[in-house]
Amino acid sequence: MTSPPRRLSDHESPGTDGSEHLLNERNLRQYSASLHRCVERIAGTFAEVDRPHTGTSAAALGKRVSAIDLDEPVRDTTTALEELEEIYFRDAVYFHHPRYLSHLNCPVVIPAVAGEAILSAINSSLDTWDQSAGATLIEQRMIRWTADRIGLGDASDGVFTSGGTQSNLQALAIARDEAREAQSGTNHLGHTVPLSRLRVLTSECSHFSIAKSAALLGLDHDAVRSVPCDERRRMRVDALAEELARCSAEDAVVMAVVATAGTTDFGSIDSLHGIADLCAQYGVWLHVDAAYGCGLLVSSHRELLAGIERADSVTVDYHKSFFQPVSSSAILVRDTAHLRHITYHADYLNPADTDAERTPNQVDKSLQTTRRFDALKLWMTLRVLGPDALGGLFDEVLDRTSEARELLAADSRFELAAEPQLSTLVFRYVSTEEIDPELCDRMNRHARQALFDSGEAVVAGTTVNGRNHLKFTLLNPETSVNDISHVLDLLAEHAEEYLTGHVPQEFGHSRAS
């Protein structure tokens, strides 16, 4: 019987050939000890975090990173972690902190983090069955579960992706080829419809990845038509009808209408049934970008997604509202046959004569080849928490948003830009006195940056009707009303400090425009 390997001390050199660091049966003690040190260090860091960010600058941190000689290893995990404390742990942006209110970054649940550790260690690649085996089946079950939650039907299918941008790109690639096939009557390798005739219709508040995807797919720069929104930043169905009619009159081919279930800036959810009716009338592919709003699939507010079941394709980002670590996302399609547009064969990987029923190769459905087993994180979450508990966390976020909305509405220092549907609040500091709009823009920019530099809180910014606004994106169920009230006070203080320092030079002592 082989004797167990001798365990190295923290500061003992493992040699220069690197074999001591390979994760295999010989080095399990080192693997366990190394991972344990990492967990202890991270746990200690989390215990000491008292603000979402330290406020350090890129220049200051960049000097510390640049000073490290990557050709001279430190030889042990403990020293490497100590070094990492100086360049990462201490100054990281911590999404779990209740005063992180900026982008669509959520705190993560522990079962998903456990899944991350497992998938990284085993390192399955989800492109072919002979690189993943059971991992393929787990991913397929997660796709099936999500499709059922959406209501896409028994023929639906999909695949995990790196995020909403990749999902939207793949959906539009499929829609492009479906439209060209329908127009020309040929398969996706023999299109006769020029790309210059193709159009994508989406709301003026939709994600920038729609325009980026169109460019990557070879469409003209003006192929994406922005449809006006109503006062709640939802696509106007009447305006969409007008645009569809206009494209028809121009002999343009609308390859897809993209509806949004949770816009990045406002959390707006388009009128999915009304949009679906028009798509059915014109025979147009309907894609729903639910990267943000997909959390409603397990929420008690599921009715907000009414009509999503009529989509031809759907984007979901579990790492936004399912409390999953990045990356954890998927693209779903109503009919698995649509995925043929993504399928290309390689003799060494997935030869065309492979029996798909017996050998499920997920690379046939994906833009990626090598691909992580990200579905395991969601699987672990559902097996430990269950969908109801997960949805309860998202419900907490929505409740907190309603309370924050009431705070803003009652505070004369701020002006709300739109009524929230999900967990985003866009607002603007306007002071209690009349001030010049351009000065107000600078005050809002300054308040946001000064708050970030202080490390006390992190909020986002955006532009509405040409004016600078602030934005809360609430995704942490442990953010309290007191946290939100405190951040509003901090923003007001920073804005007033800017006003005090600049009004005399620019406008004398009058604050009026």
Residues 126-139: tens digit of each pLDDT: 999 999 999 999 99
CATH class for domain 388-507?
alpha beta
Burial (Cβ within 10 Å: 0-12, 13-18, ≥19) of residue 352: exposed
pLDDT exceeds 90 at position 355: no
The whole-angstrom separation of Cα 165 and Cα 452 is: 27
Asked whether the beta carbons of 457 and 487 are under 8 A apart, the reply is: yes
Q: Where are the alpha helices (DSSP H) in 152-224?
A: 164-184, 209-216
Model confidence pTM above 0.85: yes
The whole-angstrom separation of Cα 160 and Cα 132 is: 14
The encoded tokens of residue 94 equal: 């911590």
Residue type, 485: S
Residues 15-40: tens digit of each pLDDT: 557 899 999 999 999 999 999 999 99
Handedness of CA 330, 331, 337, 339 (dihedral sign): negative
Residue 470 is inside which H or E element, if any?
Answer: strand 467-473
- Whose CA is closest to 202, among 192, 213, 193? 213
Asked whether the beta carbons of 292 and 262 are under 8 A apart, the reply is: yes
What proportion of the chain, given as a percentage, has pLDDT over 70? 93
CATH number of the 125-385 domain: 3.40.640.10
Mean pLDDT of 83-91: 96
Asked whether the beta carbons of 448 and 459 are under 8 A apart, the reply is: yes
Residue type, 299: S
Asked if residue 327 has a cis previous peptide bond (ω within 30° of 0), the answer is yes
Map residue 466 onto helix, strand or coil. Answer: coil
Question: What is the CATH topology of the domain spanning 22-94?
Answer: PLP-dependent transferase-like (1.20.1650)
> What's the mean per-residue pLDDT of the chain?
92
Where do the structural domains in the chain lie, given as residue ranges? 22-94, 125-385, 388-507
pLDDT exceeds 50 at position 1: no
- Whose CA is closest to 403, among 459, 473, 482? 482
- Within a 10 A sphere around the Cβ of 222, how many other Cβ atoms? 9
Mean pLDDT of 490-497: 96
User: Got the DSSP string for 62-112?
Assistant: HHHHHTS-TTS---SHHHHHHHHIIIIITT---TTSTTEESSS-----HHH
Residues 162-175: tens digit of each pLDDT: 999 999 999 999 99
Mean pLDDT of 222-248: 97
The whole-angstrom separation of Cα 125 and Cα 114 is: 18
Q: What pLDDT is attached to residue 504?
A: 52
